[in-house]
Amino acid sequence: MADADLTSPLLSPDHIVLTVHSSAAPSADGNPYRSLGCDDELLVPPPTTLDPFRNGTPTVAGLYEWAKTVLCLPVALLRLVLFGLCLAVGYVATKVALEGWKDKENPMPKWRCRVMWITRMCARCILFSFGYQWIKRKGKPAPREIAPIIVSNHVSYIEPIFYFYELFPTIVASESHDSIPFVGTIIRAMQVIYVNRFLPSSRRKAIREIKRRASCDKFPRVLLFPEGTTTNGRNLISFQLGAFIPGYPIQPVIVRYPHVHFDQSWGNVSLGKLMFRMFTQFHNFFEIEYLPVVYPLDGKETAVHFRERTSRALATALNAVQTGHSYGDTMLYLKAQEAKQENPSSYMVEVTKFEASFHVSSMEVVDFLDKFLAMNPDSSGRVQYHDFLRVLRLKACPLSAKIFSFIDVEKCGTITFRQFLYGSAHVMSQPGFHQACEEAFAGCGGAVRPYIVEQELRDFIQPVIISWNADEVNELFMLFDDDVDGRVDKIDFISCLRRNPLLIAFFTPQPKQKEFEGNGVIEVV
């Protein structure tokens, strides 16, 4: 090679051509949410191995169980007849007790309660028809004057029937129970306190009613299942606060269903199948234990601490672990099951812990699952990059790749629901998120008038979507424009970003970068 002098070019006059090939999955690095205060690395806790809702014997298995089932079929028919007869008699007695009674705000008159004894005896016969010929008891219920509130773990539909017979308490139940044929009428006779768990106003009203009835000795004691749903009895899930806010002494009660061949927990088994299995058993074991009363610490204790002490007493007596699951996890499980996912339990995230960390409601968590399921997860519950873009109405570009890479904590080119949920909630929980939404709306034209149009949206985010055409921008705009009127007001704009918090990256400052896609050619002269 000839020696170079000062007049020699550093590069040959020929062109150097670099060909860039795109990959199937994004490999972009960088944090697109740094301006909001997000850490560079998203932390997603590993899933728990505990499933507090799983029934241990969901199907008939083994020669012994099959033989017993066949042998008990004639007995099951007799039990079914007894069940129907008792339900009918109890229903008629309850209708008589409720006839003409309109003052539901005050305790039920004594003569009506005496009529309800017929229904209570029918309830015991119903338990007999289900195979509970005898019930083992330990301890005694405290007088109503000492403990006006009872809390119990919830394993099956058997406990409400037993408590109705044993204590005839006032119960706190979902509004949906009122519409159950026959049973709804009997529940009303218990002067039920209805609550819609998803409406804060309904929950507050229920708490006031619990306090009012607990303070009056003429009302029966109040029974609550603070877990809010049934479990398999081997674990406790998180307790709701409703029983503990009024601040009255509480008697914890635990129920057990000892078994070898047939798990009687409701769990993930249908009601019809569970009833059939109960009818075809020689005997079903049921134990109840009344624990010592737990008293609130006068003026020194919050409802949260009172709840923790009570739940610890139940967990200790059950020798069980309390998890962060809640009714929200049941909704996630059922939603994944409806979508025919192979492992629906993998979609549970311990909603109570998640809510405490990110202040996201259980209904919002379910909405995130709806969006994730729309991404068509594979049999292992993972979503590919192109399906992620499709549902969020995005196009492959460097910023889209960064968003996906941010939640792909394993850097394997696919994401799980847990990663999608934690990534979305982490972005949404940042102190600057709401302000960024406000500024984004103002920057798109909302500062001039109370709505924005598609062209204004495109002009605002043009610096980060240089290569997007009009149709692709329209797809993104339609995500915001729910009513398809060509306009997006402030409420709809911010609501959409809250449902899709990962999109805020397109409305916040990003490092300037030149975008190229596909098989591009860079020429250096």
**Confidence band (pLDDT; 50, 70, 90) for 26?**
low
309 Cβ contact list (under 8 Å, min separation 6): 294
What are the φ and ψ backbone dihedral angles of 110, each rounded to 5 degrees? -60, -40
pTM, two decimals, is 0.84
| Tokens, residue 304 | 């949260």
What are the φ and ψ backbone dihedral angles of 489, each rounded to 5 degrees? -85, 180
5 CB burial (10 A radius; 0-12, 13-18, 19+): exposed
Neighbour count for residue 462 (Cβ, 10 Å): 11
25 CB burial (10 A radius; 0-12, 13-18, 19+): middle
Percent of the chain with pLDDT over 90: 61
pLDDT attached to residue 292: 97
Q: What would the pLDDT profile of 46-88 be if each residue is shown by its tens digit?
A: 888 889 999 988 888 889 999 999 999 999 999 999 999 999 9
| Tokens, residue 348 | 């549970």
Q: What would the pLDDT profile of 117-126 be if each residue is shown by its tens digit?
A: 999 999 999 9
| Tokens, residue 490 | 């402030």
CATH code of domain 30-47+324-510: 1.10.238.10
From CA 93, how far away is CA 115, in angstroms rounded?
7
From CA 49, how far away is CA 504, in angstroms rounded?
34
The answer to whether the CB of 202 falls within 8 A of the CB of 196 is yes
**What residue ranges do the domains of the chain occupy?**
30-47+324-510, 63-323
| Tokens, residue 141 | 């219920």
Q: Are strands 170-174 and 149-152 parallel, antiparallel or unpaired?
A: unpaired
Which residue(s) pair with 172 in the sheet?
193
| Distance separating the N- and C-terminal Cα atoms of the chain | 21
| Tokens, residue 77 | 């028919």
| Tokens, residue 322 | 């309390």
Q: Are strands 149-152 and 222-224 parallel, antiparallel or unpaired?
A: parallel
Neighbour count for residue 271 (Cβ, 10 Å): 10
Percent of the chain with pLDDT over 70: 92
pLDDT attached to residue 37: 84
Q: Which amino acid is at 155?
A: V
pLDDT attached to residue 67: 93
Neighbour count for residue 175 (Cβ, 10 Å): 13
- Tell me the C-alpha to C-alpha distance, in Å, between residue 394 and each of 81, 90, 457: 60, 59, 14
* Least confidently predicted of 172-186, 421-435, 451-465: 172-186
Instruction: Report whether pLDDT(23) > 70.
Output: no
Q: What would the pLDDT profile of 236-290 be if each residue is shown by its tens digit?
A: 999 999 999 999 999 999 999 999 889 999 988 889 999 999 999 999 999 999 9
Q: How many residues does the chain have?
A: 525
DSSP characters over 283-304 = ----EEEEPPPBPP-TTT--HH
Mean pLDDT confidence for 187-192: 86
- Tell me the C-alpha to C-alpha distance, in Å, between residue 24 and each of 51, 94, 138, 394, 484: 35, 66, 63, 16, 33
Mean pLDDT confidence for 27-43: 78
Angle at 457 (CA atoms; ends 456, 462), nearest 5 degrees? 100
Instruction: Report whether pLDDT(1) > 70.
Output: no
Instruction: Report whether pLDDT(406) > 90.
Output: yes
The answer to whether the CB of 229 falls within 8 A of the CB of 327 is yes
Any long-range contacts for 475-483 (C-beta under 8 Å, 24+ apart)? 475/393, 476/393, 476/394, 478/393, 479/392, 479/393, 479/503, 481/454
User: Which of residues 516 and 409 earns the better pLDDT score?
Assistant: 409
Most confident of 218-227, 292-301, 512-521: 218-227
pLDDT attached to residue 299: 73
DSSP characters over 218-271 = TSPPEEE-TTSS---SSEE-PPPSTTTSS---EEEEEEE---SS-----TTS-H
pLDDT attached to residue 511: 63
Instruction: Report whether pLDDT(21) > 70.
Output: no
At 193, which helix (H) or strand (E)? Answer: strand 193-195
Any long-range contacts for 10-17 (C-beta under 8 Å, 24+ apart)? 11/524, 15/523, 15/524, 15/525, 16/523, 16/524, 17/521, 17/522, 17/523
